[in-house]
Amino acid sequence: MALTTLQIVGLALSLILVVFYFMRRAQEGGFPLPPGPPRHPLIGNFFNFPMSNQQETFTLWSQLFGDVVYSNVLGNHFVTINTAEAVEDILTKKAGNSSNRPNMVMAMELVGMGWATLFKQPGAEHREERKLLHTGLSPAGLKVWANMVDSQANKYVRSLIKGCDRDLATEEQVFPDCLDLRSAHVLIFIHSYGEGVFENHGPELLQMNKEGILIFSKTLANFWLVDLIPLLKYVPDWFPGAGFKRYAAKCNRLEQILQTRPFELTQKLHNEGKAGYSMTAQLLEQGADQKRIAIAVATAFQAGYEATYVSVTVFILAMLLYPDVQTKALEEIDNLTHGERIPTVGDRPNLPYIDAICKEIKRWHTIGPLGVPHVTAEEDSYKGMRIPKGSIIQVNVRLIHHDPRNYTDPYVFRPERFLPERPEDMPLDPSLVAFGFGRRMCPGRFLADMTTYSAIVNILTAYTIKPAPGKLVPSGLDYIDGTVSIPKQYDCLLEPRSDKRLQLFKED
């Protein structure tokens, strides 16, 4: 009986898969692969690899298979790291072999996020953009911004006091209804593009960036078949099952705007002398390549935008759930300022408990539960286990932050853990895994930390955080998960501490 064309194509594809499978097996040798869920021939873990909620599945796998877990989908190697020790050995000490990014067809090509420094492969463009970011975001580079951060944090609290264009004066108010766009986002915006740009285009650009963060989180949090079978990107948008193409097309339009519009607006106002000082203005004055400036600053703005907002939101929730922590924080601030002034960035060395709160915020709520994946350039090994060339490496950051081997009572918000009596008892610094790894560590981590600290001391100078009348107090930390984990909305009361303290925030 003659075979149909479809049957011939099917047999040909099957033969290709079989040959590919045995070629891969022939290449394997030496150390065994890390343990992992059982795999089927040819397709591997195609049917049990998580399409969504990956962090939960990877945590379960860690309990079953250990600190480093291997899985395979259609010949693609996946390695999940579940300990800080493995992160240090594989991604930090061997950063030269593990700094590549996977070719994420959905995110980088179809959605259009490949422009961002975050996703670029190591090379000239990536190095130049990282160099520009280091200029404006290193601890040394940020010293000139300390006064700006203090000033913007003061304005942030003034926006809380005014709340929704209502002069609340000393009235109590419910958080977060009064925030809208006048929030910690502004601190990052001013640093990136300048106060003049914010005054003229702030709401528009903040809203665009908010939508961009949602796209980033949704796109990277899901497992897309087109990443495994790149030929699917040529499927027509109207084809059944091609909803991913329609979603990507809609996102792509916004991504192109995010890449160019903030810089164009800033450059125009800068040339007119109306933009105000910013990282963009600083780099323009240094004569850096304008395209590289636009991409580097836009990448930093997107990353810092959500990190600061989430950190401040988590802080307020923690004070609501752990009033004893708030009492200690208020006492430390009052012992320093006696209610006569607002603490500054320069006061941080004299506020060790506030500094410990900043660390505990990063640990207690992991903003990026799995981070952004790395890829090995060459075959590697770890503790007698083979990590194949081209392995997509994901780090279970949330698990590391809540590992009882690293932190006692990991689900309790306890800043004291970072103030041990003996230096040798200091636990793992959560920043070592919260902001990326090796050569991919986020250059904006110092600014995010500075703005979070400043927002905290300003809020606690003005307010005591209490349960909202008639509202249930959250039972714990609840969040909307994705690549970026965002706390669910809650209600609480911001009670002014005194008229005298509110007057400290009165505009000149």
Binding residues for heme: 442
**Sign of torsion over alpha carbons 399, 401, 402, 405:** positive
Give the distance, in angstroms, between the CA of residue 309 and the centroid of all CA atoms in the same chain: 11
Angle at 503 between CA 489 and CA 452, to 5 degrees: 40
Tokens 């792509």, residue?
252
Residues in CB range of 4: below 8 A, 6 or more apart: none
Q: How many CB atoms lie within 10 A of CB 92?
A: 15
Indicate the SS3 state at residue 33. Answer: coil
**Would you say 74 and 44 are in contact if contact means Cβ atoms under 8 Å apart?**
yes
Rounded CA Rg of the chain: 25
**Would you say 188 and 213 are in contact if contact means Cβ atoms under 8 Å apart?**
no
Question: Which residue intervals of 164-194 are DSSP H helices?
Answer: 185-193
Percent helix, strand, coil in the chain (nearest 5)? 55, 10, 35
Rounded CA-CA distance 135/130 in Å is 9
Q: Residue 277, by phi and psi: left (phi above 0), alpha (psi -120 to 50) or beta? A: beta
Binding site listing: 442
Rounded CA-CA distance 91/199 in Å is 42
Rounded CA-CA distance 481/363 in Å is 16
Tokens 């408990």, residue?
353
**Would you say 365 and 434 are in contact if contact means Cβ atoms under 8 Å apart?**
no
